[in-house]
Amino acid sequence: MNLNKDMENYYFIQRKSDQAYPLIRITKRDDLVNTTLINLEFNGTIPRNPVLSDFLSGPEIFITNKIVNIIKNFNPKGVKIINTELTTPKGDLIEDYFCLITENIIEALDKEKSDFERPRRSYFIKKLILDRKILNEIPLEKRLVFMLRESLHTVFHEKLAKTIMEVNPTGMEFINIETGGKPLG
């Protein structure tokens, strides 16, 4: 891997485009700063044969212990892993998922190279390029997982994304934040 910080890549995590992976919604939680448990249920149309994968998509990132252990091995700063309870339509309780929350919010949009509009408080981004100068000033432990302020998406550093993909997780893929090209894998 290229150790040049200017060449580091960053990725969004997304649900694989297979209809078998259900969407999740939060039914109960306290504020994310102090909560120790988040209650979940399936959201929208439930696939006929839902596959409970290593990543389930919802308003936050929900992952299995397999992925949590990899993230913990990197010792990222500002990342919280919160227990969840997923209730199925039949009332079964699944406790195999964790919610990943990052407190690291970084404003890193390269405003000269990106194509965006900001009519008010929100950004409408057509082409996203990260400002490497800003990112290079932040310790790696705080940019392994962070929220990009301008897009409100959770972003994963290339080292972490590649290590997660090495264990062949189900139901997820990483897309380069700048190119949006084919999934990492």
95-132 pLDDT, tens digit each: 999 999 999 999 998 888 877 666 666 665 678 888 99
pLDDT at residue 124 in the model? 59
Confidence bin at 13 (pLDDT 50/70/90): very high
- Whether 150 and 117 have beta carbons less than 8 Å apart is answered as no
- For 21-137, strand residue ranges (E) read 23-28, 37-43, 55-57, 61-64, 79-87, 93-94, 97-102, 105-106, 115-117, 124-127
> Any idea which residue has 């039914």 for tokens?
27
Taking the C-alpha atoms of residue 122 and residue 103, their distance in angstroms, rounded to an integer, is: 19
Q: Where do the domains of the chain lie?
A: 5-176
List phi, psi (to 5°) of 176. -60, 125
Confidence of residue 3 (pLDDT cuts 50, 70, 90): very low
pTM as predicted: 0.87
Cβ-based neighbours of 72, under 8 Å, separated by 6 or more:
81
pLDDT given for residue 119 in this prediction: 63
Strands 115-117 and 124-127: antiparallel
Phi, psi of 56 (to 5 degrees): -120, 135
CB 52 within 8 A of CB 67: no
Please tell me the predicted confidence (pLDDT) of residue 103. Answer: 93
**Predicted local confidence at residue 33, as pLDDT:** 63
